Amino acid sequence: MTTSSAPGKVYLFGEHAVVYGEPAVPCAVERRARVTAEPRDDDRVRVDAGDLTLDGFTVTWGGDVDERPDVDAPPKLVAAATRYVDEAVQQTRAAIDDETQGFDITVESDIPLGAGIGSSAAVVVAAIDAATRSVGVELAPETVAERAFQAEYAAQDGQASRADTFCSAMGGAVRVEGDDTRTLDAPPLPFVIGYDGGAGETGELVASVRDLRERHSFAADTVEAIGELTRTGEELLAAAADGGLSTDRLDRLGELMDVDHGLLSALGVSARSLDAMVWAARDGGAHGAKLTGAGGGGCVVALDRTDGTERSLSLTPECEQAFRAELATEGVRVESP
């Protein structure tokens, strides 16, 4: 039995534009998913996800079981969770060259589901790492990232990018542009996250941006503008990593985040709750704030060394939870052998 953990992430810049080959800069944050994997003597897969809903759920499938049993949890959540884990198991089986290996898998997570901070990627990364290690196979983080991407790509019907899984596996700040993935030097960024308690439909939001981009030239220009903004942000991060994260550099990074939120809003992926939290963060003294992830609901991310932003968000009716999440310098890791 092996337990591995992997961090969630926020997008400093670049979500949605990364789908069209523009660069994105996601950053791992210290909110983790932990997955425990234990090999079985048959080919079944049993998933115990006790803290993913109010009541949690346990489901077993495989072998001669034709239908998955009814469980006391929303069917849509169960279907999504089991699909991600199922694809992670398929990648594990391919990595260990055993198509019949079964597993008991337990999932625990500090990351809000579907909120735009990488819950599915963290679960898939941690699951592949824990499951392969549980049968004596150790994969490099880069290999875990690639297999996790393939799992998410299958689970999301071909709409996943490498950004989330690469960031979760490697930790820190990373740059993703198409198939080109690399780590970036970055200072300890003071992230504050606000969560509205909801979640956007990633597939629907990606499709809506695609439709807008095909119908209106301004949307294509907006996507390109996000790419240019991201490149400027990379230069600022590099300067801060070399020369320190001064207040001036925080202000400049924050300004880019503010502009990025405006561009994402122009693409139609923000929401009233996200806009309200962004403005609350700015009113609380944040250097900058924006939505993170697909949008439509979920989380915003701000930069602030003080407690002003967290306090302001906590007093905002649209914000269900506000918390600080420092940059996670470590990606996937073993918690117990």
Q: Please give the full DSSP string across 54-118, using - where no structure is assigned.
A: SS-EEEEEBTTB-SPPP-SS-HHHHHHHHHHHHHHHHHHHHHHT-TT--EEEEEEESSPTTSSS-
Res 78: pLDDT: 56
Q: In CATH, which of 3.30.1380.20, 1.10.3210.10, 3.30.230.10, 3.40.50.150 is domain 2-185?
A: 3.30.230.10
Res 270: pLDDT: 96
- Can you tell me the distance from the alpha carbon of 15 to that of 25, in angstroms, rounded to the nearest whole number? 8
In 50-88, DSSP assigns E strands to 57-61
- Can you tell me the distance from the alpha carbon of 133 to that of 139, in angstroms, rounded to the nearest whole number? 8
- Can you tell me the distance from the alpha carbon of 204 to that of 118, in angstroms, rounded to the nearest whole number? 17
Residue 177 CA to its chain's centroid (Å): 16
pTM, rounded to two decimals = 0.88
At the topology level, CATH places domain 191-324 in Alpha-Beta Plaits (3.30.70)
Residue 282 CB partners (closer than 8 Å, separation 6+):
258, 288, 289, 302
- Give ranges for CATH 3.30.230.10 in the chain: 2-185
- Can you tell me the distance from the alpha carbon of 291 to that of 272, in angstroms, rounded to the nearest whole number? 11
Tell me the pLDDT tens digit for each residue of 170-229: 999 999 998 899 999 999 999 999 999 888 777 788 899 999 999 999 999 999 999 999
Residues noted as catalytic: 164
Query: 24 has which bridge partners?
Result: 176
Res 77: pLDDT: 52
- Give ranges for CATH 3.30.70.890 in the chain: 191-324
Res 198: pLDDT: 84
> Which of 8, 4, 23 lies closest to 161, judged by CA?
23
Helix or strand holding residue 181 (H, E) = strand 180-184
Res 60: pLDDT: 52
Residue 121 CA to its chain's centroid (Å): 6
Tell me the pLDDT tens digit for each residue of 48-59: 876 554 344 445
36 Ramachandran zone, left/alpha/beta (phi>0; psi -120 to 50)? beta
Q: Which residues of the chain have pLDDT under 50?
A: 53-58, 61, 63-74
Res 68: pLDDT: 46
